[in-house]
Structure 1
Amino acid sequence: MVLNRRRGNQAAAPQRARRRRPWSWWLGLAMVLGGLGVLGWAAWQFWGTNWVSQRTHQRIVTEVERQWEADPQALEAVRVPEGEVQALIRIPRFGDDYLVPVLEGTSDGVLASGFGHFTGSAAPGKKGNYALAGHRVTHGEPLRQMPDLRVGDEVIVETRGATYTYRLISGGKDLEVTFRDTWVVDELPTNPESGGVQPEQRKGQRLLTLTTCAELFHTDNRLIAFAELVDTEKRG
């Protein structure tokens, strides 16, 4: 009986060994799961964030228009959970239903909710440079079609008190700079490269600058478009 039990144990051991997964199987499983994770992350970045941000745009626009109508004489910005909103942007080149809020600052949270206004740059319609940043891809991508902009296209800035129409004086792909080229948001942008794209070098202008990523995927370069104020229409 003792001999039989020993043989049984010896026969069971190889069977248990055969049931163990080789390390390569686990490595392959980890790679598959990792690949699915990467695909899921990419899907969220390129589709999920757009879905969320576009609905955020709509909610903010609705709230801003409601408050403007309720109190057209108020001076303060409209406060929403994402920040302060002073303006809404229309770009006819991008379609009749294009309407994106402008929030103060250029943090990640702000840019996920609309355009960001460079703090310290001019207010809408005022002398100086009304400088704006927007995503070209993900998070609502308000400037995905930036290269389609042409000289003469309009950027319409709606505020509680007035509607300002700016006209582009450079196209959406006429100027590409690095993220270190902060001169583009100066009060009077002056290109350090002789003969480079820049607004007319005349003080006291009322300018608008659009900035976004130069490529659809990661890049440190930026596309820049300049515009000048051509019309102001009081609201109400």
Structure 2
Amino acid sequence: MRRRRGGRMVLSALSGALFLGGLGLFSYPLLTDVYTERVVQDQLAQEFERLEVAAADTWQPTMAAGSPLTRIVIPTLDVDTIVVAGTTPAALRAGAGHYPDTPLPGTVGNVGIAGHRTTYGRPFHRLDELQVGDEVWLLTPVGDHRYVVTDPPDDGNCVPTSAGAACITHPRDWSVVAPTDDAMLTLTTCHPKGSAAQRLIIRAALADSHPPGTRAPQDSDRSADV
């Protein structure tokens, strides 16, 4: 009788542990999304509004990892996220980070931004839905820059998807963020969703730049129409 009773207690404890473990795995993505969107992003937005920068060339050398760098706005995907400096795991808990060896938004070269597709606000969750011609705005204290999505990089390493403007490559394919002669933007995220086995890539070209705050009235108008 004692053995049976002890066996039932062990089974009950094991069942409870498995239940709690499953609950934790299920709730973890949701909890990180809520924390990033309602705590981290709110704090970063306040810091971003207080930034006073005279010029991009004097700004980048003073930039600290994890500090707000730009606001990325993708109208067709309803994305509006503060991007921080750096792509370390700690920095990317903000949702999206700027590759440190790439130029700042609006300047010549290949601006690289990595973002989560799941967890931590998942700003790039629907990145694969972007089409050629869609707009991506990078708002900074020194200017608002409008990029237009182009065809995927034609380097043989990144394989185009069957739909949209994205391509898929190896997670350690750094050629996608290599320097370019033109002002370009490269967005990277994990593929498939929930896995880091591959990388999904979107490439966009700088269309035009405007004084800081140019994009804000358009955001307000779009919100008012909803």
Alignment of 1:28-47 (within 5 A): 28-47=11-30
Question: What is the rounded CA distance, in whole Å, between the counterparts of 1:128 and 1:234 in structure 2?
Answer: 20
Partner of residue 50, structure 1: 33
Question: What is the rounded CA distance, in whole Å, between the counterparts of 1:20 and 1:44 in structure 2?
Answer: 36
Partner of residue 184, structure 1: 176
Please state how far the C-alpha of 1:85 moved relative to its aligned partner.
1.6
Q: Does residue 201 of structure 2 align to residue 224 of structure 1? A: yes
Question: What is the rounded CA distance, in whole Å, between the counterparts of 2:9 and 2:36 in structure 1?
Answer: 38
Across the aligned residues of Structure 1 and Structure 2, the Cα RMSD in angstroms comes to 2.5
Partner SS, residue 112 of structure 2:
strand
Q: State the AA in 1 paired with 2:31.
A: G
Alignment of 1:68-79 (within 5 A): 68=51, 71=52, 73=54, 76=59
Q: State the AA in 2 paired with 1:226.
A: R
Alignment of 1:118-197 (within 5 A): 118-170=99-151, 174-188=166-180
Confirm or deny: 8 A CA contact 1:82 1:109 kept in the other structure.
no
Partner SS, residue 26 of structure 2:
helix
Report how many aligned residue pairs link the two structures: 198
Confirm or deny: 8 A CA contact 1:143 1:212 kept in the other structure.
yes
Please state how far the C-alpha of 1:186 moved relative to its aligned partner.
0.6
The list of structure 1 runs, each at least 4 consecutive aligned residues, that deviate by more than 6 angstroms after superposition, is 79-82
Please state how far the C-alpha of 1:181 moved relative to its aligned partner.
1.1
Q: State the AA in 2 paired with 1:156.
A: W
TM normalised by structure 2 equals: 0.78
TM normalised by structure 1 equals: 0.75
Partner SS, residue 49 of structure 1:
helix
Confirm or deny: 8 A CA contact 1:184 1:209 kept in the other structure.
yes
Structure 1 runs not aligned, ≥5 long: 1-17, 189-203
Q: State the AA in 2 paired with 1:163.
A: D
Confirm or deny: 8 A CA contact 1:82 1:113 kept in the other structure.
no
Please state how far the C-alpha of 1:22 moved relative to its aligned partner.
4.8
Structure 2 runs not aligned, ≥5 long: 153-163, 214-226
